[in-house]
Amino acid sequence: NNIIVIKNTRIKSKHPHTATYTGAAAALLTELASLVCAAAQPCAQPCAQHVLFISRYTLYTRTWLGYLYYKREMRKAREHYPAGHSRAQPVEFNGIKIIPISVLSDNYSYLVIDTASSVAVAVDPADPQTVQAVLKEEGVMLEAIFCTHKHWDHSGGNKGLKRLHSSCRVYGNATDNIPGLTHPLSHRDSITVGRMQFKALFTPGHTVGHMIYLLDGRTIGAPSSLFSGDLVFLSGCGRIFEGSATTMLSSLDIVGSLSDDTLLWPGHEYAEDNLLFAAEVEPRNAARENKYQWVLQQRGRKLCTSPSTIGEEKEYNPFLRIHSAELHLALGLQQFQDEDWTEFRARVLVELRKRKELYNRR
């Protein structure tokens, strides 16, 4: 009953990134559109739904169909949001400028600029045309691309920007098969660009090779900045596509260990929806309600909600409150007598992800 038959497929292509497609190929692209909403938590027992999800996910991440889907979504977003889905509010500290760039339907890329030397880092430049326009407007040279993970909505612009900036270095974790990768990174590797000093942190779970990037604020007399990709969002965290709950928990613990004044720059504009979910988990959380009212004001003017801070997130982000007794009570969970603390917190994470997936489907 779970066999899928594909027929009447006709695909023509003169270039691996240019294709016309009909029949099953078009159907597969349509199916990929549901990937973003698919359940990521493995089933207790193998089932047809989970097998189908794995098939779709493999098509998206490991075949040219995923690239075609990304290109289609980029074209649609440019038509629907000609000025971007959000208006940026750049932040500058002692000559280091951070510019959020809205791309696709809800993604953020970032330019991090050393204004003294006019060099820049691009984080997850998914739409190379849009990022290049900001580089030109700022009059800076792109020296490096930091890629958090392989998903096309984060990595799809790497090669395009690299063609425009031949000396640009592309950083990421080799495990994730990053497009255009020139400089593979390991946990806690350091990168210097101009006066900016970054540390790469290995945070698997969303993908097997997910990395986040920490700009050290001490060297510039400012708070540090974390570019978190799809690990942590404002009041949320990424789906566990390629790992266990324990793996994801370890990655979230890395974020939770950072200083409270660290600025958080996530990969998506999910703030309003995430805070609504957090209200269902902890309806009496006053910090969440205050942040939600601020987010409503920002989104009412189409303004970016980045950055928040790690300290703020610890107050209202349920995925950074997995240690909280108040959260355990709200979820109706308690630690078993023979269960160690890490196992219990992983079980809390599984419950949160399960509830978030059910919330997303409503």
Catalytic residues: 149, 151, 153-154, 206, 230, 268
Buried/exposed 203-242: b ≥16 CB within 10 Å, e otherwise: bbbbbbbbbbbbbebeebebbbbbbbbbbbbbbbbbbbbb
Q: Are 69 and 77 in contact (CB under 8 A)?
A: no
Angle between helices 23-32 and 48-62 (to 10 degrees): 100
Q: Both tokens of residue 88?
A: 């940026």
Element (H, E) at 198: strand 196-202
Instruction: Tell me how far apart the alpha carbons of residues 312 and 34 are, in angstroms, rounded to a whole number.
Output: 32
Q: Which residues contact 127 (CB under 8 A, 6 or more apart)?
A: 74, 77, 78, 101, 103, 104, 109, 156, 157
The burial class, CB within 10 Å (0-12 / 13-18 / 19+), for 120 is buried
Instruction: Tell me how far apart the alpha carbons of residues 207 and 175 are, in angstroms, rounded to a whole number.
Output: 9
* φ/ψ (deg, to 5) at 107: -80, 160
Q: Are 219 and 195 in contact (CB under 8 A)?
A: yes
- Hunting for tokens 């997303």 — which residue is that? 360
Instruction: Tell me how far apart the alpha carbons of residues 131 and 25 are, in angstroms, rounded to a whole number.
Output: 30
Instruction: Tell me how far apart the alpha carbons of residues 154 and 173 are, in angstroms, rounded to a whole number.
Output: 13
Cα 90 versus chain centre, distance:
19
* φ/ψ (deg, to 5) at 112: -115, 115
Cα 146 versus chain centre, distance:
13
Cα 257 versus chain centre, distance:
19
Angle between helices 286-300 and 271-281 (to 10 degrees): 160
Instruction: Tell me how far apart the alpha carbons of residues 23 and 128 are, in angstroms, rounded to a whole number.
Output: 30
